[in-house]
Amino acid sequence: MHTTETPTGRTAPVGEIMSDEDELARSFAAFDERAFAVVHSRWRPLVHAMAARALGDAQEAEDVTQQVFLAAWLGRGRFRPEQGALGAWISGIAHRKTADALAARARRARLVEAAGRTLAVAPAPRTGGVPDGALDRVVLSGELVRLPRPQRQVLRLAFYEDLTHVQIAERTGIPLGTVKSHARRGLHRLRDRIGSGGLAA
């Protein structure tokens, strides 16, 4: 007999499929783990197809699919069978998680673009160039935390909030020349780490 693992780590038989949609919805809302196993088996292909179509990336779609069913399990107390079909509720979660993934992708692209604008004021590296994708890895891996606080503050505002040097100066009250100096020094430190192989892939 096939079983499906629930988010709690327990397994539930999938072979005993509940044919009645209302019964399945009521059981799911009542925290029945067997019902969750059936829900996962029944709607996973649709959720994955929706995510893959929107994201165009199989691994990212798989991640989103897992997030959808984890969110469904953790949020099962909010499902109300009398307010709508279970499948529609699952699809709604899938739409939200897919939108979140697309927004995160767009944010990463803005970070790289912001980093590129900031790099325009920095001196050229002594040897070689910046590897493709290195700056977003720097941001995401927490390398900024290693910088002195003024440099970290300036670069975080540039990377995460997409602010120009003028906007950073207005936001922080730091003179524009000092903002540019902090940006140059911070980027120089990051470039040194990249060039020395100190950055984890």
Delineate the domains of the chain, giving CATH numbers in brackets: 3-105 (1.10.1740.10), 121-195 (1.10.10.10)
CA distance 12 to 32: 10
Which two tokens mark 103? 């927004």
**Sign of the alpha-carbon dihedral angle for 37, 83, 55, 155:** negative
For 91-142, how does the pLDDT look when each residue is reduced to its tens digit (9 = 90+)? 999 999 999 888 888 877 776 666 555 544 444 444 344 444 444 544 444 5
Whole-model pTM: value is 0.50
